[in-house]
Amino acid sequence: MRITTFFTLLFCALVVPLSAQKKADKKAITELIAQYETALNTHSLDGVMGIFSADAVVLRNNAPPANGHDAIRNQYKAITDASVSLNISLVIQDVIFSGDVAYAWLMNTGKVQSTGSEESTIDSKSLAVFHKGKDGWRVVRYMYNNNLSQE
């Protein structure tokens, strides 16, 4: 076998599986973000919780960190309550992988209204940090804040 043929085969054997795995990982991250969006829009607290690891931390605008499932569940109870009308769209801007860690930057837009209050505009950005464990990809850190002025 010629040396160039050997290196071509070696390159294909190494790069093609990595490329396929990266596509599968990006698809899994995209599906988790879609699950989160759907869960928020359909008042599914269990759906929201399904994206987070047990030791996840959520850092939101002007609030203390929510550490772990119990704290995160308490934080999302009000958002997923049936008295809240939420129509949010999460648009992935970028996903970066580094081994079993991935970072996704999102732009979030939409409308929210609680019973008896005026409708508000959602215009925020978020950063989700994912970890790939034995049960697949899960969010381990999620940070978001508003783009709108707080005046």
Model confidence pLDDT, tens digit, residues 69-89: 999 999 999 888 888 999 999
Answer yes or no: are the C-beta atoms of 110 and 122 closer than 8 Å. Answer: yes
Residue 151 lies in a domain: no
pLDDT-derived band at 111 (thresholds 50, 70, 90) equals very high
Q: Which of 19-23, 47-51, 100-104, 117-121 is least confident?
A: 19-23
64 three-class SS: coil
Average pLDDT rounded to a whole number, residues 36-60: 96
Domain count, the chain: 1
* pLDDT at position 10 over 50: no
Here the tokens at position 32 are: 């988790």
Domain carrying residue 87: 3-146
* H or E element at residue 106: strand 101-114
Residues belonging to the chain: 151
Give φ, ψ of 115 to 5 degrees. Answer: -55, 130
Amino acid at 53: S
- CATH code for the domain of 79: 3.10.450.50
